[in-house]
Structure 1
């Protein structure tokens, strides 16, 4: 993990929706820092610089916030983003100190292409670990290059850097390489599932034509019987 981005933060003194809107109009971001038994510290961060720092730092970005001339390491815990405008609306941080170990969920990046006729399923996209606050891995890489169907990569197979401890179950399935299902097998499985649910599949044109022919034959036989009885 690279050195934490240094950002000068302003103390936030106004609260409420109106104050938050004014902060965002000035291209700034309201934020709060929790942790170490202290009262929450409310701050205002520069918008563009903070956005770039969070983007560069990944899911567990660590920032060095200068608050009233003092530095506070802050680990990102939650980022609220406007769903339409895609701008950051608020950030929650946890205060940490150098050398302190923290629990984080680190993303899994799958690389490469598995063997022919296989399907790669990423069963878990993050894994829980303990690491020093200033040495949190941005992600773990898992290569599936050329792997055959039936291969499973577990949490214990991950290559963890020194100082990082796995907290997740060692047998947690991370990546599962399975045999790719053929179109015919998929169709058969869907029909079986529909049958189990009591859903009738659509009849083919040939099946409809056979049913119509059979119905006409039954009608003709019935009419013939009725005519014979009336004679």
Structure 2
């Protein structure tokens, strides 16, 4: 589903113009693609933010520009790291029925068996899908999965009309036996020893022999 957003063409460019646009709670954006010149736009900030949240990483927007409609696929979103508002958006122009290549997030469903460690080896999956039928996520069911379970790209259930572009043998999720704290510590010490790293003796460990020596000295003086 595409979200409808009313856009305005912009004629001012540069950092100063972009700052003025953002002060008005609007977002500078550019639409590329289909052999046309880039279209520079201004979008309403609040409505655009909601559309991107709803559509996910590959949000499809229906931009209304001067009485015409342009389908635009989100490709890059810049967000202010402190204020968290939209800084700039790059779109790619698409048409209904057109197939596009996108990276779709992997979403784990359920909980693996107890005392297991679930590692997502690939957080996204590259697929080809119709621009108007891009899934928000690819669900991977791990409910009750035991240690030793491996889920590869070929095991994924893709939406109808989507084609996997990854190597089918690509590991997506790996479920292993959860290591104890002692085993992790031993593994770390072994790795450090192989790397020639010597651990510094802790203060407590250093103080213990000193305390023992002091105690022995006191005992000798009393005798």
TM-score by length of 1: 0.87
Task: Name 1:14's counterpart in structure 2.
Answer: 12
Change (3 A) 1:208 1:192: farther
| Structure 1 residue 76, shift from structure 2 partner | 0.1
| Structure 1 residue 4, shift from structure 2 partner | 0.7
Larger of the two Rg values belongs to structure: 1
| Structure 1 residue 6, shift from structure 2 partner | 0.9
Q: Structure 1: state its 5+ residue gaps.
A: 214-231
Task: Name 1:113's counterpart in structure 2.
Answer: 111
| Structure 1 residue 206, shift from structure 2 partner | 8.4
Deviations 1:46-68 (A, max 9, x none): 11111100110000000000111
In the aligned structure 2, how far is the partner of 1:27 from the partner of 1:38?
28
Task: Name 2:205's counterpart in structure 1.
Answer: 205
Deviations 1:132-179 (A, max 9, x none): 000001101111111110100011111111100000111111100001
Alignment map for 1:12-91 (pairs within 5 Å)? 12-91=10-89
Task: Name 1:159's counterpart in structure 2.
Answer: 157
| Structure 1 residue 208, shift from structure 2 partner | 6.3
In the aligned structure 1, how far is the partner of 2:162 from the partner of 2:56?
17
Cα RMSD of the aligned pairs, angstroms, is 1.8
In the aligned structure 1, how far is the partner of 2:51 from the partner of 2:182?
49
Deviations 1:202-227 (A, max 9, x none): 447389629x97xxxxxxxxxxxxxx
| Structure 1 residue 184, shift from structure 2 partner | 1.5
Question: SS at the partner of 1:198?
Answer: coil
Task: Name 1:219's counterpart in structure 2.
Answer: none
Task: Name 1:134's counterpart in structure 2.
Answer: 132
Alignment map for 1:212-231 (pairs within 5 Å)? none
Task: Name 1:226's counterpart in structure 2.
Answer: none
Q: Which runs of 4+ in 1 moved over 4 A?
A: none
Of the three residues 90, 96, 99, the one matched with 1:98 is 96
| Structure 1 residue 201, shift from structure 2 partner | 2.7
Task: Name 2:220's counterpart in structure 1.
Answer: none
In the aligned structure 1, how far is the partner of 2:149 from the partner of 2:141?
12
TM-score by length of 2: 0.90
Q: Structure 2: state its 5+ residue gaps.
A: 214-223
